Structure 1
Amino acid sequence: MRTLVTRSILAATAVTGVVFALGAGNAAADPAATAAFSPTFTIGTKVGGSEVTCAGYLESTAAVYPGQTPGPVEVLLKSHFVGISPQCLISGTVKWTNQDTGASGSKRYDLSGFDGPAAPTGVYFDPGFGHVTIEIDSDKWCIPGKAELTV
């Protein structure tokens, strides 16, 4: 009986260790699949016009789509703008390059600068496995935001 109890305790300890080790392995891999951008400073206009109506920056983050490592990348754009009009249109491009495979691409975005950080705009793309550089620019004057991510 004593041997059975000892074996049961050892088996439970081994299973618990494996569960914690697998969980720690996943947690350690996740930070490489997320990135914060330098701010994208830019200006915005009225819809359909060229008159500058606002100025500010985009606060952006990138992450491999939740639960799909490797998988599609999700870039969230959060706006922080002030202006003189109820309209503040920001348009631009998210450009990416996989440094390991040479694959590259771009996705357009349009957002209201007045949506604020509580209403981010999502941009999605699938760069494949590897080290990916990402740049967010604007159709107007801007200082692009940049980040790097490992998928």
Structure 2
Amino acid sequence: MRMPTSVPAASLLAASGLATMIVAAAPAEAATVEFPQVPSVYHDALICGGNIRSWADTGPQWPGRAIISIQALPVAGFDPGEYSFAPQCITVATVAWRNMDTGAAGEYRVPVLAGFYGSEHYALFQDTGPGHIIVTVFTDMPNIPAHSAFDVPG
């Protein structure tokens, strides 16, 4: 049996329409900027220390906003408790930011509880406004602060 000539044309049009829909539905480009890690001492143990990592996620789907994330990497230390070499330690990590184009400023501050596994991932939207954002990352204990920058689309 011979197929009508309109079927291949319809199939081709359907396929090209699907391709157009896939391209049109592709997400806008997002950017992730990881800041330098912050070595820090922690509270609640005789000796406890480790690195804090932090980063910003931006994209045109969040104009004028950035998601700031903070996470502790595994800590090392000693605590005289039952699990001496697996202490649970805490520090308050802060990402202070300033928009160099508008002058807006703010900070994301969060208590970070960490152990030999690190910590959970803490994240929060920041209304930075569009522009070039500079950041300083530090903790409430002795640390080596980190400085970085990223851009937020309008």
Q: Give the alignment's TM-score, normalised by structure 2.
A: 0.70
1:53-74 CA-partner distances (Å, limit 9, x unpaired):
3111112233249x95334513
1:74-96 CA-partner distances (Å, limit 9, x unpaired):
31323321112245221232111
Higher-Rg structure is 2
Tell me how far 1:148 sits from its aligned partner.
Answer: 3.2
Amino acid at match of 1:73: I
Tell me how far 1:52 sits from its aligned partner.
Answer: 5.9
Q: 1:103 to 1:68 in 2, by over 3 A?
A: same
Following the alignment from structure 2 to structure 1, what is the Cα–Cα distance between the partners of residues 10 and 114? 61
**Secondary structure at the counterpart of residue 97 of structure 1:** strand
Partner of 1:94: 95
Q: Give the alignment's TM-score, normalised by structure 1.
A: 0.71
1:94-139 CA-partner distances (Å, limit 9, x unpaired):
1112233221111222122327335223344221223323322112
Amino acid at match of 2:55: T
**Structure 2 portions without partners, runs of 5+:** 80-86
Where in structure 2 are the equivalents of 1:35-54 lying within 5 Å? 35-46=33-44, 53-54=47-48
Higher helix content, 1 or 2: 1
Where in structure 2 are the equivalents of 1:1-151 lying within 5 Å? 2=5, 4-5=6-7, 7-24=9-26, 26=27, 29-30=29-30, 32=31, 34-46=32-44, 53-64=47-58, 68-70=61-63, 71-85=65-79, 86-114=87-115, 116-117=117-118, 119-151=120-152
Following the alignment from structure 1 to structure 2, what is the Cα–Cα distance between the partners of residues 42 and 23? 43
Q: 1:53 to 1:118 in 2, by over 3 A?
A: closer
Among all aligned residue pairs of Structure 1 and Structure 2, give the percentage whose two residues are the same amino acid.
26
Cα pair 1:97 1:134 within 8 Å, conserved: yes
Following the alignment from structure 1 to structure 2, what is the Cα–Cα distance between the partners of residues 52 and 106? 29
Following the alignment from structure 1 to structure 2, what is the Cα–Cα distance between the partners of residues 10 and 150? 42
Q: How many residues align?
A: 141
Cα pair 1:98 1:131 within 8 Å, conserved: yes
Runs of 4+ in 1 over 6 A off after TM superposition: none
**Secondary structure at the counterpart of residue 117 of structure 1:** coil
Following the alignment from structure 1 to structure 2, what is the Cα–Cα distance between the partners of residues 53 and 124? 33
**Secondary structure at the counterpart of residue 42 of structure 2:** strand
Q: 1:8 to 1:64 in 2, by over 3 A?
A: same
Q: 1:133 to 1:42 in 2, by over 3 A?
A: same
